[in-house]
Copies of this chain bind each other. A is one copy, B any other.
Amino acid sequence: MKLPRLAEQELIAAIRADFSGKKQGGLALGIGDDAAVIKPGGENLVLTTDLLVEGSHFLRSLYPPYLLGRKSLNVNISDVAAMGGRPLYALLGLGLPPSLPRSWVERFFAGMRSAAEAGRVRLIGGDLALAEKILISVTLVGQAKTFVRRSGGKPGHLLFVSGYPGRANAGRELLQSGVRSGRDRAADRLIKTFLDPVPQVELGLRLSKLGAASAMLDTSDGLSVDIDNLCRESRVGAEILADYIPISPELKRLRKSPLQDALYGGEDYGLLFSVPPSKLSAVAKLEKEFCLSRIGRLVPGGKVYLLDPSGRKTLFVPRGFRHFK
């Protein structure tokens, strides 16, 4: 989420309408999900692209190039994970200021290589350009025997999230407020979640293999927006139980409003997914391994509500998450 939210959604809707005219052979899923899916031969290929812009998505002064290299690849791997796919190949478009030290570029590539090795991704092509600000454009190709859309959620399905939402954004705020690594372990953990997110490939694959997720996306825009996206694509509403939202111990210790962090912070790169009741027992077996929390359920209609412990029900308005601006 980078443009003013409404403008971005409007633009995507226009593009989607504009380019959705004729069905083309081999396209299984087009604009609007975490990734597109094509079926050139027998197999589904998952395709996704992400643009990272210095000043909009990261500040050079706060971001070690090694970790930026890792994150550039990992945010795309996360999109493939959200489809239940396995990442395979990457293409890299890189815009670099002429003044950038050589060591920066070397560290960036070392980081990207480490993420590529961890994710078993191979860099197969790219383009280099001069630019005033650092620009990183990664396109990732993955495979998925079966894939999970955003749009398969039905009323009655339960909503789960992996990990502790809000940690990454809290880490970002700590970093921006001048907190540096190495002084407080809890702060370090939050900052690491922000700087070096871990895509949930294994969880996505397991859910997809089990046929357990009816809709899925990765939590990148903040929980309120992510839930809204899943509901809009699935044409359902949701009831979210505020006291079921998992709050990490670090947020409790260091932050004033940990629940607000969890509801509105972005860039966690966990998975948010809905589960039909028939698959609950299968998902229960993954709960501990992948730190899953059941946070609510899908309901008819398009509205999302937040229920507090007293049972009070309020509209859960998606609040745009912004990167650095």
Residues of A within 8 A of B (CB): 2-4, 8, 11-12, 14-15, 18-19, 24, 26-27, 30-31, 33, 35-36, 38, 40-43, 45, 47-53, 55-57, 88-89, 91-96, 98, 105, 109, 113, 116, 120, 122-133, 135, 137, 139, 141, 143, 325
Contacts and interface: CB of A to CB of B under 8 A. Distances in A.
A149 to B, nearest CB: 13
Contact of A129 (B57, B91, B141): B57
Contact of A91 (B11, B109, B131, B139): B139
Given A123-B19, A135-B53, A128 B45 contact: no
Contacts of A45: 40, 45
Nearest to A38: B89
Contact of A132 (B4, B35, B40, B132): B132
A143 B40 contact: yes
B89 A125 contact: no
Contact of A135 (B19, B26, B51): B51
A31 B93 contact: no
A35 B135 contact: no
Contact of A51 (B4, B42, B93, B98): B93
A45 B41 CA distance: 10
Contacts of A51: 93-95, 127-129, 135, 137
B15 A47 contact: no
A38 B124 CA distance: 9
A256 B58 CA distance: 47
A35 B125 contact: yes
A49 B91 contact: yes
B11 A88 contact: no
23 contacts: A3-B96, A3-B128, A14-B109, A15-B126, A18-B109, A19-B113, A19-B123, A30-B122, A30-B125, A31-B125, A33-B125, A36-B91, A40-B43, A47-B91, A48-B91, A48-B125, A49-B92, A49-B126, A50-B127, A51-B94, A55-B132, A93-B137, A135-B137
